[in-house]
């Protein structure tokens, strides 16, 4: 018999909250009455969102402007997680990407990508888990990607960071079993956000059929539902769930060749 209890989140911290999936998490949680700590680099956009959510939902919204590629920025967020009021739900959504052949990309940019997608996520997750296990309750959602399930030529570093997040989250899900804390990885496919433009792909993958695109709201909704159910992972969208199953049984060599051929048309 399952001993899982549906969590009640008094306060959530969301990174990368100024747009896209992070903003969708913030809006959904505020509508449910959850107080928020919003983290992103753009303080002006964060404050505008905070003011809107407070007015519409009568919830408390804190704003913390921080660059997670900067150790001082990550440290400031970690300090807030350790402080009161306590955080019941941690959403590691902040992430950056790059596009192009690895040998041609500036190494500093690729290392910055690792700093945000891996190092900052590890740091914040460790602090959050420590606080939550002492209380015997809490949830962490790590926003990953379907890219972490396969090699991604032309986005090699990004895909590798997401493979790390998937494996890391699976391991922590088992480490925290029985503690009252649950760690969930959400692995969306293509999502309509500013991410495409920021990764140097302003056309947004025009070869991808419209029906394959997810909305940020769908991703946030499915992720929160999965966290409430205590699941280790979540793949939003029926088509992507089927694809993830097929990818799991497809030989790695086939995935690699298919990804390489597909990358030529991106």
Phi-psi region of 16 (alpha: psi -120 to 50; beta: other; left: phi over 0): left
**Can 240 be counted among the known catalytic residues?**
no
> Quick one: average pLDDT of 110-137?
98
* Higher-pLDDT residue of 94, 239: 94
Q: Is the distance from CB of 159 to CB of 262 less than 8 angstroms? A: no
Taking CA atoms, 189 is separated from 48, 118, 171, 205, 263, in Å, by 28, 19, 22, 12, 15
Rounded Cα–Cα distance for residues 237 and 6 (Å): 23
pTM of the shown model: 0.90
* Higher-pLDDT residue of 33, 254: 33
Above 90 in pLDDT, residue 25?
Answer: yes
Q: Please pick, among 9, 25, 158, 190, the residue that the annotation labels catalytic.
A: 158
Residue among 183, 195, 184 nearest 158 (CA): 195
Above 90 in pLDDT, residue 165?
Answer: yes
Domains and CATH numbers, the chain: 11-263 (3.40.50.720)
pLDDT, residue 266, reads 44
What residues contact residue 264 under an 8 Å CB cut-off, 6+ apart? none
Task: Read off the pLDDT of residues 190-242 as tens digits, 9 standing for 90 and up.
Answer: 887 766 556 555 555 556 656 677 999 999 999 999 999 999 999 988 877 78
Interior angle at CA 122, CA 149 and CA 96, nearest 5: 60
């Amino acid at each position: 018999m399952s001993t899982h209890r549906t969590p009640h989140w008094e306060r959530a911290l969301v990174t990368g909250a100024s747009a896209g999936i992070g903003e969708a998490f913030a809006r959904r949680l505020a509508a449910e009455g959850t107080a928020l700590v919003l983290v992103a680099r753009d303080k002006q956009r964060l404050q505008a969102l905070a003011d809107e959510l407070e007015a519409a939902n009568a919830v408390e919204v804190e704003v913390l402007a921080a660059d997670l590629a900067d150790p001082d920025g990550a440290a400031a967020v970690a300090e807030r997680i350790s402080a009161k009021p306590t955080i019941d739900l941690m959403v590691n959504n902040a992430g950056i990407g790059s596009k192009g052949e690895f040998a041609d990309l500036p190494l500093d940019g690729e290392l910055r990508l690792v700093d945000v997608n891996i190092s900052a996520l590890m740091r914040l997750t460790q602090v959050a888990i420590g606080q939550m296990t002492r209380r015997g309750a809490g949830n962490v959602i790590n926003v990953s990607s379907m890219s972490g399930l396969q090699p991604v030529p032309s986005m090699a570093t990004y895909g590798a960071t997401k493979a790390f997040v998937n494996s890391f989250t699976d391991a922590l899900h088992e480490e925290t079993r029985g503690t009252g804390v649950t760690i969930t990885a959400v692995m969306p496919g293509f999502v309509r956000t500013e991410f495409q433009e920021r990764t140097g792909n302003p056309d947004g993958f025009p070869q991808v059929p419209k029906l394959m695109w997810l909305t940020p709201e769908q991703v946030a909704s499915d992720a929160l539902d999965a966290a409430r159910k205590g699941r280790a992972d979540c793949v939003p969208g029926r088509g992507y769930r089927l694809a993830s199953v097929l990818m799991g049984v497809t030989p790695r060599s086939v995935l690699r060749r298919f990804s390489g051929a597909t990358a030529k048309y991106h």
